[in-house]
Structure 1
Amino acid sequence: MTRPNAAIVVTAIALLFAGLASWGIYSYLSKESAKSKAASGQAIVVAAVDMPIGAKLSAAQLKTANVPTENIPQGSFTAPQQLEGRIVVRQLTAGDTITEQKLMPKEGATATGVMTYIVPQGHRAVTVGVNEVAGVAGFLAPNNRVDVVLVNGNVKVYQLRELKSVPLPGRELLNPGKRKS
C-alpha cells in the first residue's frame, strides 16, 4: 500500500474543520435569530410629540412602537383609538409609553380639574389674586419659580427693595391664569 500524499491529508482535515466551523456558526445564528424573533415584541401606543399636562389626546399625537414583551409596562395601550379624547395628567415627551396612570380616569375626562394631578401628594395649592396692572400678565408661565410676599396697601415700592426676609421663597407657579397673545 502506498501512503496518501501529505497535501491530500491536510486538505481533507481542513475541509473537515471548515465544515464543523460552518455548522457551529449556522447553529448559533439560528438560535439567535429565533431569540430576536421571539423578543420582537408587541406594538404599543407611545407619544408622537411632547404633550403638557391637560392635553386632550388625538390620533395625530400618537403612534405605535414595537416593544419587547417583557418590557411592556402594565396599563399600556395597543391601539391609538383607545385613547381618543383622553386627558394627560403627567407631562409626556415624544416616545414616552402612554399608560393608564398617565391619563385622567375615563369618568372625569374634562380638561378642567387637572390641578389635582399637578400638586404633589402632601402639598397644597394656594390661589393668589393678582391683576394685569400688577405686571404679571404674560410674564409668568407654569413651572416658573416666584417669591411670595404678603404686603398691605400702605407699603411703598422703595420699602419692598429693603425687604430682609421673604416668607415663601422660590415657590413653583402651577398656573398663572389665562395668557393673552
Structure 2
Amino acid sequence: MGFTHPDSDLSLTHLDASGQVRMVDVSHKNRSAREAIAASTVRLSADAFALLTAQANAKGEVLNTARIAGIQAAKRCAELIPLCHTLALDFVGIDFELDSQQHLVHIQATCRCSYTTGVEMEAMTAASVAALTIYDMCKAADKGIVIENTRLLRKSGGKSGVWQATER
C-alpha cells in the first residue's frame, strides 16, 4: 500500500513500497459522507485586536474577508498541495471566536463532501488561509502577529471512521 516503517505498522500512503512519491489511488474506495474540522489561532497586539474588533482596519472588514479567503482556499486545495485529490465540496464553513482578554482570534474551518477520500487537507488549508488573511489585513498595525496551533480537530467518514484530537 504505502511505505511502511520496518519497526512499525504505520505507513506513509503517499510513498510507494520503494519510497517514491505517488498520489494515493482511491478508485477502489466507496463514497461516503466525510467531514473534517480544523482550527488555527491568530494572536494580535492589543492595538491590532482593537482595530479588528472595531472594524476600523484600513483594509476593510477583516473577518468576512478571511471567511471568504478560507472558503476559496478549501475549494482550491488540490492546486496548492501537490498530491491532494480534487474534491467537489458540499460545504465549507469558517467560524471565528474572539478572545478579547488575550487578543486572539480562534478560527474553525469545517469541510464536508461525499467522496472516496477525506477532507482534512481542505479544512486545514481553509483555517490556514483565513489566519493568513487576518495577518495580511492587520499587519499595518502589528507586524508581530503570530499564527499558531493550526491543527485537525476532528474527522469522520471513510474506512477509518471518526478521529478526535486530544488536547495538547
* Structure exhibiting the larger radius of gyration computed from Cα positions: 1
| TM-score (normalizing by structure 1) | 0.18
Structure number with higher helix proportion = 1
Structure possessing the higher relative contact order (Cα contacts under 8 Å, 6 or more residues apart):
2
| TM-score (normalizing by structure 2) | 0.18
Structure number with higher strand proportion = 2
